[in-house]
Amino acid sequence: MNHQDQMMLMSQLFPACEYTQIISQQGEKKPKPRRKRSKKNKGGENSANDMNKKRKLSDEQVNILEENFGNEHKLESEKKDRLAMELGLDPRQVAVWFQNRRARWKNKKLEEEYFSLKKIHESTILEKCLLETKLREQHSEALKLREQLSEAEKEIQRLREPFERVTSSSSSTSSMSQSVEVVDPPFLGEFGVDNGYDDDVFFMPNETCYYNGMEWISLYM
DNA sequence: TCTAGGTTTAATTTACATCA
DNA sequence: CTGATGTAAATTAAACCTAG
């Protein structure tokens, strides 16, 4: 595999940006500072020559170059010469055109990638907002249910009181018998509200610790 | 119609890699 | 090591476009 083949393979395996990164990372060398640009030959031997002036390529030339670029982003030397002959251009011009075209292609790709990532980012933010809203709703629902539970427990206690008075007076006649109080198991709902543990404590099913109410809320704010 | 300022693009420069 | 050749990146400058 010669150098050109290797380059070709690299460019196929990696998008232009990664490909150039790989090249520049080889050897981990810092890029040397660019040398001062030498003055162009303004007024030099060829500057007066109109042939040196920049000529825009014709539509047909550009079409054929684009067609070739569509097939392959890099040119082998032979193909470059053939194409140059076909278009009536200097092989150097064809090489330069491909070089510039690759640079434009890379810029376009980067731009596309930027907008695609931006889109993903925006939709993720939106999803996060929706999930946060949902969580707040669920939390206020949990608080409401907890309030209801507390009320229900108070009501149970209130209804029990007459019965407990009777059993405690009758137990005084028999010291052996204790009040057989049916103790309800602590209610541990979805959020593990356990009044037997602490007044305002939540147990997270997937975690091994307890949070008080404000801490629990702040986890989701 | 003219023109200043912006955009596009052909060409150049530079640094670096690879190979014979 | 050296020179030839290739590339990417940065830059320049000619040609072109457009608002005012």
For A137-149, how does the pLDDT look when each residue is reduced to its tens digit (9 = 90+)? 999 999 999 999 9
Domain with CATH 1.10.10.60 in chain A: 58-168
A135 vs A13: which has the higher pLDDT: A135
CB A149 under 7 Å to nucleic chain B: no
Q: What is the pLDDT of residue A171?
A: 57
Q: Which amino acid is it at A5?
A: D
- What is the CA A40 to C1' B12 distance in angstroms? 8
Q: What is the pLDDT of residue A164?
A: 78
Average pLDDT estimate for A120-146: 97
Asked if residues A187 and A149 have their Cβ atoms less than 8 Å apart, the reply is: yes
A180 vs A170: which has the higher pLDDT: A170
Q: How far apart are the first and last CA of chain A?
A: 59
- What is the CA A175 to C1' C17 distance in angstroms? 108
Q: Which amino acid is it at A120?
A: I
- What is the CA A100 to C1' B8 distance in angstroms? 12
A80: the nucleotide nearest its CA (via C1') is: C6
Could you tell me the pLDDT band of residue A52, with boundaries at 50, 70 and 90?
A: low
Q: Quick one: what percent of chain A has pLDDT higher than 70?
A: 52
Distances (CA, A) of A131 to A92, A126, A213: 58, 9, 20
- What is the CA A125 to C1' C8 distance in angstroms? 36
Strand C within 7 Å of which CB atoms in A 176-205?
none
pLDDT exceeds cutoff 70 at A163: yes
CB A19 under 7 Å to nucleic chain C: yes
pLDDT exceeds cutoff 50 at A135: yes
Taking only the tens place, the pLDDT of each residue in A189-210 is 444 444 443 444 444 444 334 4
A203 vs A157: which has the higher pLDDT: A157
Average pLDDT estimate for A79-95: 92
Could you tell me the pLDDT band of residue A170, with boundaries at 50, 70 and 90?
A: low
pLDDT exceeds cutoff 90 at A9: no
CB A104 under 7 Å to nucleic chain B: yes
Could you tell me the pLDDT band of residue A165, with boundaries at 50, 70 and 90?
A: confident
Asked if residues A126 and A119 have their Cβ atoms less than 8 Å apart, the reply is: no
Angle subtended by helix axes A59-71 and A77-87, to nearest 10: 160
For chain A, what is the mean pLDDT? 67
Second-level CATH architecture of A58-168: Orthogonal Bundle (1.10)
Which nucleotides on strand B sit less than 7 A from a protein beta carbon? 9-20
Q: What is the pLDDT of residue A55?
A: 77
pLDDT exceeds cutoff 90 at A63: yes
pLDDT exceeds cutoff 70 at A213: no
Strand C within 7 Å of which CB atoms in A 79-108?
95, 99-100, 102-103, 106
A179 vs A80: which has the higher pLDDT: A80
